[in-house]
Structure 1
Amino acid sequence: MKDTYNTIAFPSEEILFKEKGSKFFGYAFPITSEEEVKPIIEALRKKHPTACHYCYAYQIGSEKISYRANDDGEPSNSAGMPIYGQIQSFSVTNTLVVIVRIFGGTKLGVGGLITAYKTAAQIALENCSIIEKTIDIHYLISFDYKNMNKVMRIIKEKNLDIVNQKMEMSCEIEIKTRKKNAEQVFDIFNSLFEIEIKAKE
Protein backbone atom coordinates (compact mmCIF):
# COMPACT_ATOMS: atom_id res chain seq x y z
CA MET A 1 0.00 0.00 0.00
CA LYS A 2 1.50 3.32 -1.08
CA ASP A 3 1.24 5.87 1.71
CA THR A 4 3.63 8.56 0.49
CA TYR A 5 3.50 11.31 -2.12
CA ASN A 6 5.89 13.91 -3.51
CA THR A 7 5.40 17.65 -3.32
CA ILE A 8 7.56 20.77 -3.39
CA ALA A 9 9.03 22.04 -0.13
CA PHE A 10 8.97 25.80 -0.82
CA PRO A 11 7.87 28.24 -3.52
CA SER A 12 10.38 28.33 -6.37
CA GLU A 13 12.39 31.40 -7.22
CA GLU A 14 11.22 33.31 -10.29
CA ILE A 15 12.60 31.86 -13.52
CA LEU A 16 12.64 33.52 -16.95
CA PHE A 17 12.40 31.76 -20.31
CA LYS A 18 12.57 33.86 -23.51
CA GLU A 19 11.23 32.87 -26.92
CA LYS A 20 11.13 35.22 -29.96
CA GLY A 21 10.90 38.31 -27.77
CA SER A 22 8.18 36.93 -25.49
CA LYS A 23 9.10 36.55 -21.83
CA PHE A 24 7.75 33.63 -19.81
CA PHE A 25 8.15 34.06 -16.05
CA GLY A 26 7.71 30.78 -14.18
CA TYR A 27 6.74 30.09 -10.57
CA ALA A 28 5.89 26.96 -8.56
CA PHE A 29 4.07 27.02 -5.21
CA PRO A 30 3.17 24.34 -2.65
CA ILE A 31 -0.60 24.47 -1.99
CA THR A 32 -3.11 22.28 -0.18
CA SER A 33 -6.41 23.80 -1.35
CA GLU A 34 -7.99 25.45 -4.38
CA GLU A 35 -8.67 28.59 -2.30
CA GLU A 36 -4.94 29.36 -2.24
CA VAL A 37 -4.73 29.73 -6.03
CA LYS A 38 -6.60 33.00 -6.59
CA PRO A 39 -4.56 35.17 -4.15
CA ILE A 40 -1.32 33.88 -5.74
CA ILE A 41 -2.54 34.76 -9.26
CA GLU A 42 -3.67 38.21 -8.03
CA ALA A 43 -0.24 38.85 -6.49
CA LEU A 44 1.44 37.92 -9.79
CA ARG A 45 -0.92 40.23 -11.71
CA LYS A 46 0.28 43.08 -9.49
CA LYS A 47 3.91 42.05 -9.94
CA HIS A 48 3.60 41.88 -13.76
CA PRO A 49 0.93 44.45 -14.69
CA THR A 50 2.03 44.54 -18.36
CA ALA A 51 1.67 40.77 -18.89
CA CYS A 52 -1.04 39.53 -21.25
CA HIS A 53 -1.49 35.96 -19.93
CA TYR A 54 -1.30 34.38 -16.46
CA CYS A 55 -1.57 30.67 -17.27
CA TYR A 56 -1.45 27.99 -14.61
CA ALA A 57 -2.09 24.41 -13.61
CA TYR A 58 -2.32 22.72 -10.26
CA GLN A 59 -2.84 19.31 -8.73
CA ILE A 60 -4.12 18.74 -5.20
CA GLY A 61 -4.53 15.54 -3.20
CA SER A 62 -2.67 12.30 -2.62
CA GLU A 63 -5.39 9.67 -3.07
CA LYS A 64 -8.30 11.67 -4.43
CA ILE A 65 -6.64 13.88 -7.03
CA SER A 66 -8.14 17.14 -8.28
CA TYR A 67 -6.47 19.27 -10.92
CA ARG A 68 -7.08 22.26 -13.13
CA ALA A 69 -5.35 23.71 -16.18
CA ASN A 70 -6.07 27.31 -17.25
CA ASP A 71 -5.05 28.82 -20.62
CA ASP A 72 -6.05 32.39 -19.62
CA GLY A 73 -6.83 33.50 -23.17
CA GLU A 74 -4.12 31.53 -24.99
CA PRO A 75 -5.35 29.08 -27.68
CA SER A 76 -7.12 26.07 -26.15
CA ASN A 77 -4.75 23.54 -24.52
CA SER A 78 -1.63 25.49 -25.54
CA ALA A 79 -0.68 26.64 -22.02
CA GLY A 80 -2.51 25.05 -19.07
CA MET A 81 -2.18 21.43 -20.20
CA PRO A 82 1.55 21.67 -21.09
CA ILE A 83 2.10 23.15 -17.60
CA TYR A 84 0.02 20.36 -16.02
CA GLY A 85 2.00 17.81 -18.05
CA GLN A 86 5.15 18.94 -16.23
CA ILE A 87 3.48 18.60 -12.80
CA GLN A 88 2.71 15.00 -13.82
CA SER A 89 6.18 14.48 -15.28
CA PHE A 90 7.80 15.52 -11.97
CA SER A 91 5.28 13.29 -10.10
CA VAL A 92 4.35 16.02 -7.62
CA THR A 93 1.01 16.92 -6.08
CA ASN A 94 -0.25 19.80 -3.88
CA THR A 95 1.58 21.98 -6.39
CA LEU A 96 0.64 25.07 -8.42
CA VAL A 97 2.72 26.23 -11.39
CA VAL A 98 2.05 29.67 -12.89
CA ILE A 99 3.62 30.98 -16.09
CA VAL A 100 3.25 34.71 -16.78
CA ARG A 101 3.72 35.74 -20.42
CA ILE A 102 4.75 39.18 -21.60
CA PHE A 103 4.17 39.33 -25.36
CA GLY A 104 7.22 40.23 -27.43
CA GLY A 105 5.54 41.15 -30.72
CA THR A 106 6.02 37.86 -32.59
CA LYS A 107 3.31 35.20 -32.60
CA LEU A 108 4.64 31.78 -31.64
CA GLY A 109 1.85 29.61 -33.05
CA VAL A 110 0.19 26.84 -31.04
CA GLY A 111 3.21 24.50 -31.31
CA GLY A 112 5.57 27.26 -30.18
CA LEU A 113 3.32 28.16 -27.25
CA ILE A 114 3.07 24.54 -26.09
CA THR A 115 6.87 24.23 -26.12
CA ALA A 116 7.40 27.58 -24.37
CA TYR A 117 4.89 26.95 -21.55
CA LYS A 118 6.14 23.38 -21.10
CA THR A 119 9.78 24.54 -20.93
CA ALA A 120 9.06 27.39 -18.49
CA ALA A 121 7.10 25.01 -16.21
CA GLN A 122 9.92 22.46 -16.39
CA ILE A 123 12.56 25.04 -15.40
CA ALA A 124 10.36 26.30 -12.52
CA LEU A 125 9.96 22.76 -11.15
CA GLU A 126 13.65 21.96 -11.66
CA ASN A 127 14.37 24.88 -9.33
CA CYS A 128 12.23 23.36 -6.57
CA SER A 129 13.21 21.11 -3.71
CA ILE A 130 10.98 18.02 -4.05
CA ILE A 131 10.18 16.18 -0.81
CA GLU A 132 8.36 12.98 0.09
CA LYS A 133 5.48 13.22 2.56
CA THR A 134 3.46 10.48 4.21
CA ILE A 135 -0.31 10.05 3.93
CA ASP A 136 -1.45 10.25 7.54
CA ILE A 137 -4.63 9.06 9.25
CA HIS A 138 -5.88 11.05 12.27
CA TYR A 139 -7.61 9.41 15.24
CA LEU A 140 -9.28 10.80 18.36
CA ILE A 141 -8.65 8.81 21.54
CA SER A 142 -10.97 9.44 24.50
CA PHE A 143 -10.30 8.10 28.01
CA ASP A 144 -10.45 8.90 31.72
CA TYR A 145 -7.42 10.51 33.29
CA LYS A 146 -6.65 7.32 35.26
CA ASN A 147 -5.81 5.57 31.95
CA MET A 148 -3.36 8.26 30.87
CA ASN A 149 -0.20 6.19 31.43
CA LYS A 150 -1.56 3.28 29.42
CA VAL A 151 -2.39 5.54 26.45
CA MET A 152 0.88 7.48 26.57
CA ARG A 153 2.91 4.27 26.72
CA ILE A 154 1.37 3.04 23.46
CA ILE A 155 1.84 6.44 21.82
CA LYS A 156 5.52 6.30 22.77
CA GLU A 157 6.01 2.64 21.80
CA LYS A 158 4.37 3.12 18.40
CA ASN A 159 6.09 6.47 17.83
CA LEU A 160 2.77 8.24 17.16
CA ASP A 161 2.52 11.99 16.67
CA ILE A 162 0.24 13.94 19.01
CA VAL A 163 -1.59 16.63 17.04
CA ASN A 164 -3.83 17.95 19.83
CA GLN A 165 -4.58 17.08 23.41
CA LYS A 166 -7.12 18.03 26.05
CA MET A 167 -6.16 16.81 29.51
CA GLU A 168 -8.89 17.03 32.11
CA MET A 169 -10.76 14.38 34.11
CA SER A 170 -11.91 13.05 30.75
CA CYS A 171 -9.11 13.34 28.23
CA GLU A 172 -8.96 13.48 24.46
CA ILE A 173 -5.85 13.15 22.33
CA GLU A 174 -5.66 13.52 18.57
CA ILE A 175 -2.92 11.38 17.06
CA LYS A 176 -1.73 10.79 13.53
CA THR A 177 -0.09 7.75 12.03
CA ARG A 178 1.06 6.67 8.60
CA LYS A 179 -1.71 5.09 6.58
CA LYS A 180 0.07 1.72 6.39
CA ASN A 181 0.11 1.49 10.23
CA ALA A 182 -3.38 2.90 10.79
CA GLU A 183 -5.30 -0.36 11.08
CA GLN A 184 -2.83 -1.81 13.60
CA VAL A 185 -2.91 1.38 15.72
CA PHE A 186 -6.72 1.43 15.67
CA ASP A 187 -6.91 -2.23 16.74
CA ILE A 188 -4.50 -1.71 19.66
CA PHE A 189 -6.50 1.15 21.17
CA ASN A 190 -9.85 -0.41 20.26
CA SER A 191 -9.00 -3.55 22.25
CA LEU A 192 -8.29 -1.60 25.46
CA PHE A 193 -10.85 -1.41 28.24
CA GLU A 194 -12.28 2.10 28.95
CA ILE A 195 -10.54 3.67 25.96
CA GLU A 196 -12.38 4.85 22.85
CA ILE A 197 -10.83 5.50 19.45
CA LYS A 198 -12.47 6.89 16.33
CA ALA A 199 -11.26 8.27 13.02
CA LYS A 200 -11.23 12.06 12.91
CA GLU A 201 -13.63 13.41 10.31
Structure 2
Amino acid sequence: MSKEENFLTIKENGSAELIIKKSKFIASMARTTTTDEANAFIQEISKKNRDATHNTFAYTIGLNDDQVKASDNGEPSGTAGIPELKALQLMKLKNVTVVVTRYFGGIKLGAGGLIRAYSNSVTNAVEKIGVVKRVLQQELIFSVPYNRFDEVDHYLKTNKFFVADTEYGVDIKIHIFLDMDDQEQTKKDLTNLLAGQISFTNGEKRYNEIPVEQNNYHEQ
Protein backbone atom coordinates (compact mmCIF):
# COMPACT_ATOMS: atom_id res chain seq x y z
CA MET A 1 0.00 0.00 0.00
CA SER A 2 2.71 2.46 1.00
CA LYS A 3 4.57 2.23 -2.30
CA GLU A 4 1.40 3.27 -4.11
CA GLU A 5 1.20 6.35 -1.88
CA ASN A 6 4.61 7.57 -3.05
CA PHE A 7 4.46 9.76 -6.13
CA LEU A 8 6.35 12.16 -8.39
CA THR A 9 5.47 15.82 -8.72
CA ILE A 10 7.15 19.08 -9.66
CA LYS A 11 9.64 20.52 -7.16
CA GLU A 12 7.83 23.87 -6.99
CA ASN A 13 5.59 26.17 -8.99
CA GLY A 14 7.31 27.77 -11.96
CA SER A 15 7.33 28.51 -15.67
CA ALA A 16 9.48 28.24 -18.77
CA GLU A 17 9.36 29.71 -22.26
CA LEU A 18 9.98 28.32 -25.75
CA ILE A 19 10.06 30.19 -29.06
CA ILE A 20 8.91 27.96 -31.93
CA LYS A 21 8.65 29.50 -35.40
CA LYS A 22 8.19 32.96 -33.90
CA SER A 23 5.34 31.85 -31.62
CA LYS A 24 6.02 32.21 -27.91
CA PHE A 25 4.91 29.30 -25.70
CA ILE A 26 4.95 29.87 -21.93
CA ALA A 27 4.30 26.81 -19.76
CA SER A 28 3.22 27.79 -16.23
CA MET A 29 3.02 24.94 -13.73
CA ALA A 30 1.68 24.53 -10.21
CA ARG A 31 1.19 21.83 -7.65
CA THR A 32 -2.54 21.33 -7.15
CA THR A 33 -4.29 18.74 -4.99
CA THR A 34 -7.92 19.60 -5.83
CA THR A 35 -9.83 20.66 -8.92
CA ASP A 36 -10.63 23.96 -7.16
CA GLU A 37 -6.91 24.68 -6.82
CA ALA A 38 -6.36 23.67 -10.45
CA ASN A 39 -9.15 25.91 -11.72
CA ALA A 40 -7.97 28.84 -9.61
CA PHE A 41 -4.47 28.53 -11.07
CA ILE A 42 -5.84 28.29 -14.63
CA GLN A 43 -7.91 31.45 -14.07
CA GLU A 44 -4.94 33.27 -12.54
CA ILE A 45 -2.62 32.53 -15.47
CA SER A 46 -5.31 33.14 -18.09
CA LYS A 47 -6.07 36.53 -16.52
CA LYS A 48 -2.38 37.40 -16.32
CA ASN A 49 -1.98 36.52 -20.02
CA ARG A 50 -5.39 37.70 -21.20
CA ASP A 51 -3.80 39.30 -24.28
CA ALA A 52 -2.43 35.92 -25.47
CA THR A 53 -3.77 34.08 -28.52
CA HIS A 54 -4.48 30.94 -26.44
CA ASN A 55 -4.27 29.81 -22.81
CA THR A 56 -4.49 26.05 -23.07
CA PHE A 57 -4.29 23.78 -20.04
CA ALA A 58 -4.21 20.30 -18.56
CA TYR A 59 -4.30 18.92 -15.06
CA THR A 60 -4.13 15.60 -13.27
CA ILE A 61 -5.36 15.29 -9.69
CA GLY A 62 -5.03 12.21 -7.49
CA LEU A 63 -2.46 9.44 -7.29
CA ASN A 64 -4.33 7.38 -9.90
CA ASP A 65 -5.12 10.29 -12.23
CA ASP A 66 -8.55 10.35 -10.56
CA GLN A 67 -9.51 13.69 -12.07
CA VAL A 68 -8.03 14.90 -15.33
CA LYS A 69 -8.99 17.66 -17.73
CA ALA A 70 -7.52 19.22 -20.85
CA SER A 71 -8.48 22.25 -22.94
CA ASP A 72 -7.32 23.41 -26.37
CA ASN A 73 -8.76 26.91 -25.77
CA GLY A 74 -9.39 27.57 -29.45
CA GLU A 75 -6.51 25.59 -30.95
CA PRO A 76 -7.52 22.75 -33.32
CA SER A 77 -9.11 19.90 -31.37
CA GLY A 78 -6.59 17.57 -29.74
CA THR A 79 -3.49 19.66 -30.52
CA ALA A 80 -2.85 21.32 -27.14
CA GLY A 81 -4.52 20.16 -23.93
CA ILE A 82 -4.32 16.41 -24.60
CA PRO A 83 -0.61 16.51 -25.60
CA GLU A 84 0.06 18.48 -22.41
CA LEU A 85 -1.80 15.91 -20.31
CA LYS A 86 0.00 13.03 -22.00
CA ALA A 87 3.35 14.72 -21.32
CA LEU A 88 2.50 14.93 -17.61
CA GLN A 89 1.40 11.29 -17.57
CA LEU A 90 4.48 10.05 -19.44
CA MET A 91 6.64 11.66 -16.76
CA LYS A 92 4.37 10.06 -14.11
CA LEU A 93 3.67 13.42 -12.48
CA LYS A 94 0.74 13.70 -10.07
CA ASN A 95 -1.21 16.64 -8.65
CA VAL A 96 0.02 19.08 -11.28
CA THR A 97 -1.69 21.73 -13.39
CA VAL A 98 -0.09 23.28 -16.45
CA VAL A 99 -1.24 26.26 -18.48
CA VAL A 100 0.56 26.73 -21.80
CA THR A 101 0.10 30.26 -23.10
CA ARG A 102 0.70 30.92 -26.80
CA TYR A 103 1.43 34.24 -28.40
CA PHE A 104 1.02 33.63 -32.14
CA GLY A 105 4.03 34.66 -34.17
CA GLY A 106 2.46 34.65 -37.63
CA ILE A 107 3.60 31.23 -38.83
CA LYS A 108 1.12 28.34 -38.67
CA LEU A 109 2.56 25.13 -37.27
CA GLY A 110 -0.01 22.60 -38.49
CA ALA A 111 -1.57 19.95 -36.27
CA GLY A 112 1.60 17.89 -35.85
CA GLY A 113 3.67 20.97 -35.12
CA LEU A 114 1.20 22.18 -32.50
CA ILE A 115 1.13 18.80 -30.75
CA ARG A 116 4.94 18.77 -30.54
CA ALA A 117 5.09 22.42 -29.45
CA TYR A 118 2.62 22.04 -26.58
CA SER A 119 4.07 18.71 -25.46
CA ASN A 120 7.64 20.03 -25.58
CA SER A 121 6.61 23.15 -23.67
CA VAL A 122 5.50 20.99 -20.76
CA THR A 123 8.61 18.78 -20.84
CA ASN A 124 10.88 21.83 -21.02
CA ALA A 125 9.17 23.45 -18.03
CA VAL A 126 9.42 20.28 -15.94
CA GLU A 127 13.14 19.98 -16.71
CA LYS A 128 13.67 23.59 -15.66
CA ILE A 129 11.57 23.38 -12.47
CA GLY A 130 12.72 19.93 -11.35
CA VAL A 131 10.97 16.83 -10.01
CA VAL A 132 10.69 15.38 -6.52
CA LYS A 133 9.42 12.08 -5.21
CA ARG A 134 6.99 12.60 -2.33
CA VAL A 135 7.49 9.64 -0.04
CA LEU A 136 5.07 8.83 2.76
CA GLN A 137 7.15 8.24 5.88
CA GLN A 138 6.54 7.35 9.52
CA GLU A 139 8.19 9.17 12.42
CA LEU A 140 9.83 6.74 14.84
CA ILE A 141 10.85 8.00 18.29
CA PHE A 142 13.21 6.18 20.67
CA SER A 143 15.75 6.89 23.41
CA VAL A 144 19.29 5.59 23.79
CA PRO A 145 21.88 5.95 26.60
CA TYR A 146 24.72 8.39 25.95
CA ASN A 147 27.29 5.57 25.89
CA ARG A 148 25.44 3.82 23.04
CA PHE A 149 24.73 6.89 20.93
CA ASP A 150 27.77 6.56 18.63
CA GLU A 151 26.73 3.03 17.58
CA VAL A 152 23.16 4.10 16.89
CA ASP A 153 24.29 7.24 15.07
CA HIS A 154 26.59 5.14 12.87
CA TYR A 155 23.70 2.78 12.05
CA LEU A 156 21.38 5.66 11.13
CA LYS A 157 24.00 7.36 8.94
CA THR A 158 24.95 4.10 7.22
CA ASN A 159 21.30 3.47 6.34
CA LYS A 160 20.74 7.14 5.39
CA PHE A 161 17.77 7.69 7.69
CA PHE A 162 16.49 11.24 8.04
CA VAL A 163 17.00 12.37 11.64
CA ALA A 164 14.38 15.03 12.32
CA ASP A 165 15.31 15.85 15.91
CA THR A 166 17.71 14.86 18.71
CA GLU A 167 16.82 15.75 22.30
CA TYR A 168 19.41 15.58 25.09
CA GLY A 169 18.03 14.71 28.52
CA VAL A 170 18.59 11.81 30.88
CA ASP A 171 19.01 9.80 27.68
CA ILE A 172 19.19 10.92 24.07
CA LYS A 173 15.78 10.92 22.37
CA ILE A 174 15.98 10.51 18.60
CA HIS A 175 13.26 11.22 16.03
CA ILE A 176 13.73 9.62 12.62
CA PHE A 177 11.54 9.39 9.53
CA LEU A 178 11.57 6.20 7.51
CA ASP A 179 9.62 4.61 4.67
CA MET A 180 6.55 2.71 5.79
CA ASP A 181 7.97 -0.60 4.57
CA ASP A 182 11.21 -0.13 6.54
CA GLN A 183 9.67 0.14 10.01
CA GLU A 184 9.79 -3.46 11.19
CA GLN A 185 13.33 -4.16 9.98
CA THR A 186 14.62 -0.93 11.51
CA LYS A 187 13.02 -1.73 14.88
CA LYS A 188 14.53 -5.22 14.73
CA ASP A 189 18.00 -3.87 13.88
CA LEU A 190 17.97 -1.29 16.68
CA THR A 191 16.61 -3.81 19.18
CA ASN A 192 19.45 -6.19 18.32
CA LEU A 193 22.01 -3.40 18.44
CA LEU A 194 20.92 -2.38 21.95
CA ALA A 195 20.31 -5.93 23.25
CA GLY A 196 16.60 -5.29 23.67
CA GLN A 197 17.04 -2.18 25.83
CA ILE A 198 14.91 0.09 23.66
CA SER A 199 11.26 0.96 23.11
CA PHE A 200 9.62 2.78 20.21
CA THR A 201 6.85 5.32 19.80
CA ASN A 202 5.26 6.18 16.48
CA GLY A 203 4.94 9.89 15.78
CA GLU A 204 3.33 11.57 12.79
CA LYS A 205 3.13 10.39 9.22
CA ARG A 206 4.18 12.90 6.62
CA TYR A 207 5.41 13.23 3.06
CA ASN A 208 9.10 13.97 2.68
CA GLU A 209 10.54 15.06 -0.64
CA ILE A 210 13.47 13.46 -2.41
CA PRO A 211 14.95 15.21 -5.49
CA VAL A 212 14.84 13.10 -8.67
CA GLU A 213 17.57 13.37 -11.27
CA GLN A 214 16.47 14.44 -14.74
CA ASN A 215 15.64 11.62 -17.13
CA ASN A 216 15.16 9.16 -14.25
CA TYR A 217 11.42 9.68 -13.90
CA HIS A 218 10.54 6.36 -15.53
CA GLU A 219 12.75 4.45 -13.08
CA GLN A 220 10.81 5.64 -10.03
- Provide the TM-score with structure 2 as the length reference: 0.57
Report how far residue 136 of structure 1 moved. 5.3
CA distance in 1, matches of 2:187, 2:88: 35
* Aligned residue number for residue 64 of structure 2: 65
Match of 1:116 among 89, 114, 117: 114
Report how far residue 85 of structure 1 moved. 0.7
CA distance in 2, matches of 1:43, 1:148: 55
CA distance in 2, matches of 1:72, 1:163: 45
* Aligned residue number for residue 18 of structure 2: 15
1:195 lines up with 2:194 in the alignment: no
* Aligned residue number for residue 125 of structure 1: 123
Change over 3 Å in CA distance of 1:80–1:169 after alignment to 2: farther
CA distance in 2, matches of 1:55, 1:148: 59
Unaligned runs of 5+ in 1: none
CA distance in 1, matches of 2:21, 2:64: 32
Count residues with an aligned counterpart: 193
Say if 1:141 and 1:196, in contact at 8 Å, map to a contact too. Answer: yes
* Aligned residue number for residue 89 of structure 1: 90
Change over 3 Å in CA distance of 1:47–1:152 after alignment to 2: same
Letter in 2 for 1:14: E
* Aligned residue number for residue 175 of structure 1: 176
What is the SS of the residue equivalent to 1:200? Answer: strand
Name which of structure 1's ranges 85-94 and 130-139 shifts more when overlaid on structure 2.
130-139
* Aligned residue number for residue 25 of structure 2: 25
Change over 3 Å in CA distance of 1:29–1:164 after alignment to 2: farther
Say if 1:60 and 1:95, in contact at 8 Å, map to a contact too. Answer: yes
Say if 1:189 and 1:196, in contact at 8 Å, map to a contact too. Answer: no
Letter in 2 for 1:99: V
Letter in 1 for 2:18: I
* Aligned residue number for residue 47 of structure 1: 48
Change over 3 Å in CA distance of 1:138–1:101 after alignment to 2: same
Unaligned runs of 5+ in 2: 206-220
Q: Considering only aligned residues, what root-mean-square deviation do their CA atoms show, in Å?
A: 4.7
* Aligned residue number for residue 215 of structure 2: none
Report how far residue 141 of structure 1 moved. 1.1
Report how far residue 83 of structure 1 moved. 1.1
CA distance in 2, matches of 1:165, 1:95: 35
What is the SS of the residue equivalent to 1:13? Answer: strand
CA distance in 2, matches of 1:190, 1:36: 45
Q: What is the percent sequence identity of the aligned residues?
A: 23
CA distance in 1, matches of 2:25, 2:94: 21
